[in-house]
Amino acid sequence: MKHLVLGFMFLFLTSVATAQTTTDWKTLLTTSGTKVIAVEGATKIDISTAKTLHERGVRFIDTRGSSSWKYGHIPGALPVSSYPTEAELMEIVDKNEEVVFYCDCDVGSAYCNLSPHASATAVALGYQNVYYFTNFNEWGPAGYPIEKAK
């Protein structure tokens, strides 16, 4: 009986510790109205910084959806939803590697927060080197390469 009680206490304490270390990604967002203006634990970057990171070989993730990705994306970028699972992210990048999420939410809806949401999700999952930008629409006009799906 004593071992059974100790076992239950261990399971309870383990579940409490796990619950306390899991961060709700929504708590990492700073908003102005409906627009995300900052993500705690992630760095918002401009396209010239994004280009520098891309040239260094940092992994890029396109959060705009697969149809937008097929139409044109940053070379080497992979499409992932704006609410990626830990398994999806782990297939692409390790938690200690740099990663850049992007979308084109500066155009259109004030409700669009795709890359900030994905960035907050990654931070909540324990990713340490997270960057994001919301103006992919400026990438091509800046003379940076765009790749189309085949």
pLDDT of residue 39: 85
Q: What is the pLDDT of residues 63-110, one digit of tens each?
A: 998 889 999 999 999 999 888 899 999 999 999 999 999 998 866 566
Classify each residue of 90-126 as buried b or exposed e, where b means 16 or more C-beta atoms within 10 Å of its C-beta. eeebeeeebbbbbbbbeeeeeebbbbbbbbbbbbbbe
The mean pLDDT value for 6-14 works out to 39
- Domains annotated on the chain, with CATH: 25-138 (3.40.250.10)
Q: Quickly state the pLDDT bin for 144 (edges 50, 70, 90).
A: very high
Residue with the larger pLDDT of the pair 32 and 129: 129
Calpha distance 52→120 (Å, rounded): 22
- pLDDT of 15: 40
pTM (two decimals): 0.81
Structure tokens at 144: 């940076």
Helix (H) or strand (E) holding 20: helix 2-21
Whole-angstrom distance, CA of residue 84 vs CA of residue 117: 9
Query: CA–CA separation, 120 vs 130, rounded Å?
Result: 9
pLDDT band at 111 (very low <50, low <70, confident <90, very high): low
Q: Alpha helix (H) ranges present in 56-113?
A: 66-71, 86-92
pLDDT above 90 for 30: no
Percentage of the chain modeled with pLDDT above 70: 81
